[in-house]
Structures are given as structure tokens and as C-alpha cells.
Amino acid sequence: MTAVLSVRGLTTVLHLADGPVEVVKSVSFDIGAGETVALVGESGSGKSMTMLSVMGLHPQPTAEIVGGEVLLDDVDLVGADERYRRSVRGSSMAMVYQDPMTSLNPLMRIGAQIEEVLTAHGTSRRAAQARVLEVLAEVGIPQPARAARAFPHEFSGGMRQRVVIAMAIALRPALLIADEPTTALDVTIQQQIIALVRRLQAETGTAVMWITHDLGVVARVASRLLVMYAGRLVETGSTRAVFARPEHPYTAGLIAAIPPARVAERAPLRQIPGAPPDAAHAPSGCPFHPRCPEVVPRCREEMPPLTQRPGSAAACWVPPSQWSVPADAERGQAS
């Protein structure tokens, strides 16, 4: 499988009053053509900052990429000049945010906004106007010609997210980065957006990176997942394998914290003590160690490497066979 995007050792710091803080720590992953990969993490895990760094949209100068490579079609974007980065943004990869109003100008008609994306990348005005109507229809917006003349506030949240997706796919990017695109939407509208992204993917072969905190969404959309905690990838693998046999205690805890579907007997949920740390106060060694039921002395000292196994990887000193709380432990063994 050819990788559309290849991220190697990406490290991003935030320059805060007390000095620089690493919020993305040596993150490496690939996304294959047409693949759907989920980047999972809780608040403060660094998942959004990772993808903003990939896009080169991290808030500079507060945030700065201090190491690593972002290879898009084998060209390193970290080393590239801003003009090149600008030329690939929107055309080769595009981003959809949680709040559609982040991406939409409230004072501009929708058609003009999408047209601007196209003309900025060299499409003629006439061709752009035609493409606007086409792409609005593609994302399922009724009466595209009328919609193009409307302002963002005239649409519901779900329809606005469709507009943002239309803008993102207008130039047929090879990679679509969706940052919690359905978190602000009702679940029936979320399902419409998931179905839409799936259909567009099938039609165009776009790869999708889905950033989410919702393991249900992961199970529904992604063939592979990356789990992030305190700025680091702690587990990666195929969605089915990771859900069936998580190899990091954090992943195992997250999965078991969710009420299981369709069970007849309800038991207490698995708890992970404490709260996710923010990057500035990440613990030493493995950042999960203060919350981990499997902690051994080494965890406090040394960050375990992300050990590659066939099809998966996990950063933990303690192999699952030695866990005190097995991943498939019966619910109710709250730690």
C-alpha cells in the first residue's frame, strides 16, 4: 500500500510563559491511499495539535515544530517553504473542523467561499463556479444553486458541516483530515455525515484521518486506529485487533469504560483513576503510569518504546499476558 502521508518523529512544542512544552512527542504513522484511520484521544492528548502540525496550521509562533518529517507524496512539508505548503493545503490534503463556523466566513456567501478555494489553486473563475454547484450536490445539499447564494447562518449545523466538507473535497484531495467533525451534531445527523464521507471515499478514493474521542465512531468508520495519550502514540493497530486484544492498559481501560452494547446484565464500568494530564504537567516515564493498574517501577523512570508487532504496536513495559486486570476482564473489576 502506498502511503499518502508519512509522519516521522513529529515533535511540536508550545512556547508558554514557563518555557517550551512538548505537546506532540515523536509521533510516527502512515496513512495509505483510500484508507480510513482514526486518531483517538481524550482532551489534551495532542491529537488535534498533531494534525494541525501535519497541515502546517499549528498556531505559530506559539506552537513550533521542532523535529520530524511530514511526507506528503514523498515531499517533506516541515522543510518546505510556506508557498509549497499553501499549494498542497486544500488541494492534496484538506481539513474539516468540529465547529463548521471555524471554517466558514459568516459574511460571505457559501458559493463564493468554495469558489475562493478553487481559484486560489488556479482554477478559472468560470470552471470554479460550475464546480461549486457540482460539489454542493455531491455532499447532498438540496438546490445547490440556491445554497450557493446563501450565507452560513441560513443553514443548520449539519448542513454547514456538509458545506465545509464540500469545500474540503472541492479539489479532490488525496487526504481528508476530519477533526471531530460530528461531535457537535446530533447522532442522527452524525450518521448522515458518516454516510456522506463514506460515499465520497468510495467515489474518489480519498484517504480519511478521523480525529475523535468516541470509540463508537472509531468502530464504525476506521479500519485502523492510533491511540494518543499525553502527546504520544501509545497504541496502533487494526481496529478489530485493538478492540479484541488491546495491548496498552490505557486502551483497554478506555474500551472497558464504555457501557457495553446489548448486554442483559449491567455491572459497574471500568474506571481509570484520575484524569488525563495536560502536556505541561505530563508525568515522568510513561505518562499513563499514575493511572495505570499494571504499573511497575520501570514505568516511572523510562518511557517504553512503541514496539512494533505484525499489524500493531504498543508502548508498554508490561505485556498483556502479565496484566493484573486482563483486557477481557469481566466488568465490575473497577480499579
Q: Which is nearer to other proteins, 175 or 215 (CB)?
A: 215
Question: Residues 3, 243, 283, 320: which binds other proteins (CB under 8 A)?
Answer: 243
On the question of a cis peptide bond just before residue 61, with omega within 30 degrees of 0, the verdict is yes
307 binds other proteins (CB under 8 A): no
Single out the residue of 272, 292, 313, 314 in contact with other proteins (rule: CB under 8 A): 272
Q: Among 11, 87, 119, 271, which residue interacts with other proteins (rule: CB under 8 A)?
A: 271
Examine residue 34 and tell whether it contacts other proteins (CB under 8 A).
no
Whether 56 contacts 42, CB under 8 Å:
no
* DSSP β-bridge partners for residue 232: 229
* Nearest distance from C-beta of residue 313 to other proteins, angstroms: 18
Residue 199 makes CB contacts below 8 A (sequence gap 6+) with none
Nearer to other proteins, 60 or 143 (CB): 143
Tell me if 134 contacts other proteins by CB under 8 A: no
31 binds other proteins (CB under 8 A): no
Asked whether position 259 contacts other proteins by CB under 8 A, the answer is: yes
For other proteins, which residue of 120, 219, 325, 329 counts as binding (CB under 8 A)? Answer: 219
* Residue in 211, 252, 228 with CA at minimum distance from that of residue 306: 228
Look at residues 36, 34, 32, 30 and name the one whose alpha carbon lies nearest to residue 1: 32
Q: Is 129 in the site for other proteins (CB under 8 A)?
A: no
Q: Which of 122, 216, 297, 326 binds other proteins (CB under 8 A)?
A: 216
Q: Does 60 bind other proteins (CB under 8 A)?
A: no
- CB–CB of 158/185 below 8 Å? yes
Identified binder of other proteins from the candidate list 240, 298, 300, 309, rule CB under 8 A: 240
Distance CA 63, CA 57 (A): 10
Q: What angle in degrees, to the nearest 10, is found between the helix axes of 187-204 and 157-169?
A: 20
Asked if 246 is part of the footprint of other proteins (rule: CB under 8 A), the reply reads no
Out of 9, 122, 205, 260, name the contact with other proteins by CB under 8 A: 260
Residues 191-210 that bind other proteins (CB under 8 A): 191-192, 194-195
Question: 289 CB contacts (<8 Å, ≥6 apart)?
Answer: 283, 295, 299, 300
Q: How far is the CB of 22 from other proteins (least distance, A)?
A: 21
Contact stretch for other proteins (CB under 8 A) within 15-23, 180-188, 202-210, 302-310: 180-188
User: What is the sign, positive or negative, of the torsion defined by CA atoms of 139, 33, 254, 288?
Assistant: negative
Report if residue 261 touches other proteins, rule: CB under 8 A.
Answer: yes
CA dist 273 and 249 (Å) reads 12
Tell me which stretch binds other proteins (CB under 8 A): 115-123, 163-171, 240-248, 279-287. Answer: 240-248
Binding residues (CB under 8 A) for other proteins: these are: 42-43, 156, 158-159, 186-192, 194-195, 213-221, 239-240, 243-244, 253-255, 257-262, 264, 266, 268-273, 275-276, 291, 334
